A and B are shown apart, each in its own frame.
Chain A
Amino acid sequence: EPEVTQTPSHQVTQMGQEVILRCVPISNHLYFYWYRQILGQKVEFLVSFYNNEISEKSEIFDDQFSVERPDGSNFTLKIRSTKLEDSAMYFCASSDSGGSNGYTFGSGTRLTVV
């Protein structure tokens, strides 16, 4: 079964440092997303990406965040200057045009900012 791949699985970084979280969505999917889940809290939408541009972003996705699809397979989330409150599990997801088969989530990157 096709899957969404995320690397790294764990990332520890110092406050103020930049991190890049990487994702390889399912190859024939057209829509890509980043979500985050702070420990013990709900899954929160960050950003959606379609046709090589951001289609929607949440209030969380401020200027310290950016996304990129540098080639035909990778989809990255960059956090420019990490803060303690950025510590969370970050999930990448992808979907086909209708989404009726569900949105497939990657296994996540656990980011810890110290």
Chain B
Amino acid sequence: GQNIDQPTEMTATEGAIVQINCTYQTSGFNGLFWYQQHAGEAPTFLSYNVLDGLEEKGRFSSFLSRSKGYSYLLLKELQMKDSASYLCAVRDRNDYKLSFGAGTTVTVRA
């Protein structure tokens, strides 16, 4: 099974940077995904890491360390529309399902 931990809430100022950490314990690992979810809406895909290192995609970057069971999502140049829940999800080596963390609610203040 999977055990995925991420902070419950974070607050940051418009234009700033926020880093959301995720730690996981899994019997098998085949990729880590980050999703954004606005209230009442579907999760939308942000990033995918399967090898160690940093993946950059515009204002969003995601980092993975498989040996530490650790990932972070970095949001730069925060905008008000980035206020949302950010979900860390791990894929098991033996199947294709995603197991989600409880999500981190990010509030961006002016």
Count of inter-chain pairs, beta carbons less than 8 A: 58
The interface size bin for chain B is 20 to 34
0 or 1 for each of A20-42: is its CB under 8 Å from B? (1 = yes): 00000000000101000000011
Closest chain B CB from A76 CB (angstroms) = 18
Contact of B45 among A33, A41, A48, A104 (CB under 8 A): A104
| B98 CB contacts on chain A under 8 angstroms | 33, 45, 103
Q: Is the interface of A mostly helix, strand, loop or mixed?
A: strand
B42 and A55: CB pair below 8 A? no
User: Could you list 6 examples of A-B contacts with CB < 8 Å?
Assistant: A42-B87, A50-B96, A100-B31, A100-B50, A101-B45, A102-B33
Interface residues of B (CB under 8 A from A): 31, 33, 35, 37, 40-45, 48, 50, 87, 89, 91, 95-103
